Structure 1
């Protein structure tokens, strides 16, 4: 009889609860850090402010950080493998968000493990998948494989520019891992130089994606992606997009011909209860 797969002792570990406060200034800084411009007034001007839903991921960053601090994996080599976000209700312009977090699953990849850290609040449900070299080999299940690129040609093509200071700006929002700012720390992690946070890259892509659909980026309801390769500040991303039903797109982003975001699924919906529903002007867009 075959023995059942082993289970990591970290599976189901309760990471506790936390209430995080933020101001309009924090929400505006986030929008600017992920690519909003000065004329996107309802993202950067407090009198018309709509909070980008992915800003919630900066409020919940404490949870994966807490797991690393407990010694579940080597924080100098672990990387953010993928991210999921389901939006339940819009974030207010300022206030507090109470969250609870746990290790939902630990997958055994042999030489590495993937820790799924789930954070839940009234406003969102978010899951970090953290790829941790050296933490596998405990005999557990390997977990799901990555999504495949659609076989048909892309319906749209977008171009997204990053800027050289973007990682330095984004790290002020909570993820201050030194690999994003310190060249020595980046080399320790196997990178030639500091690289952009995966969540910053992903959020930067949501802005032109919303524009391509005639949606407002604050209308984001679902987001999912795998981080396939690093993006360095200043890189320009080529984004292939496939229509995925009303308000939805599947995306793959590349830099210098190498995929950096794969398996991206994104969906937007109208929020008629909010007074500012005009779609953000699409920028950096190249139609196929």
Structure 2
């Protein structure tokens, strides 16, 4: 896999107006009363909106033939915020394959996108691409052994995946029952990044922060979430932020997760 590590995936400049960050906020669970997230006169852009702007990068790696796009899955997401996103404007980005890890029966490709506003890394789990003698890579954050400092429910909407698709990730498995079935799912399921962003809104409120003040975010996508599912979130506060996990009916869906707010 040495031919992929360090591979430059190109540059792209994406422009948007106030409509897209507002649509994004609504798609991940903001309400009409959250005026600083949905009203252009007061708008603060959610940092996770950046991930919709950079989705082209992991898609570019799949198109280049690094793995089978029909079986590869989004394993982990990391985001580091460098400065607030503008309400509207242009974002110039550059992407590369920052690492390739050998998990035995699979490989994990880390795709990192950088800009003046953020650094984001997708870890893509690719079955059948391992066994090349490379390093296994870092271990996931362990679940804290103490009792959670707080618990909170997060209710997803039945139409949430359909709404989130309008931000650019239009993979058919999130809307078409036949495509979901072909992917091994009983019905269309949520985008992992939508689920993750939906959790950060109430999590920020629970720790006394504003969701637009997010500075770091990381999570592993452990199991699928379906539109309409109710998540149970457990969180542990620490000096460097908040560790958290989310489950649905006892099944962990987000693990090794961590958020830090300014």
TM-score for both structures, normalised by structure 2: 0.98
Match of 2:249 in 1: 256
User: 1:73 aligned to 2:67?
Assistant: yes
Match of 1:286 in 2: none
Q: Measure, in 2, the Cα distance between the counterparts of 1:73 and 1:182.
A: 23
Match of 1:10 in 2: 4
Name which of 138, 153, 156 aligns with 1:144: 138
TM-superposition CA deviations, 1:226-252 (whole Å, max 9, x none): 000000000000000101226x21100
Q: Measure, in 2, the Cα distance between the counterparts of 1:145 and 1:131.
A: 14
Match of 1:199 in 2: 193
CA contact (8 A) 1:228 1:259 kept: yes
Match of 2:121 in 1: 127
Q: Measure, in 2, the Cα distance between the counterparts of 1:260 and 1:23.
A: 33
CA contact (8 A) 1:8 1:140 kept: no
CA contact (8 A) 1:251 1:263 kept: yes
Match of 2:42 in 1: 48
CA contact (8 A) 1:77 1:188 kept: no
The within-5 A match list for 1:165-244 is: 165-244=159-238
Name which of 73, 82, 98 aligns with 1:88: 82
Q: Measure, in 1, the Cα distance between the counterparts of 2:153 and 2:162.
A: 22
Alpha-carbon shift at residue 146 of structure 1 (Å): 2.0
SS of corresponding position for 1:47: coil
Match of 2:22 in 1: 28
CA radius of gyration, larger in: 1
SS of corresponding position for 1:74: coil
Match of 1:106 in 2: 100
Alpha-carbon shift at residue 13 of structure 1 (Å): 0.5
User: How many residue pairs get matched?
Assistant: 262
Q: Measure, in 1, the Cα distance between the counterparts of 2:54 and 2:127.
A: 23
Alpha-carbon shift at residue 100 of structure 1 (Å): 0.3
| Structure 1 segments (4+ residues) deviating >4 Å | none
SS of corresponding position for 2:61: helix
Specify every segment of 5 or more residues in structure 2 that has no aligned partner in the other structure, as ranges: none
Specify every segment of 5 or more residues in structure 1 that has no aligned partner in the other structure, as ranges: 1-6, 270-288
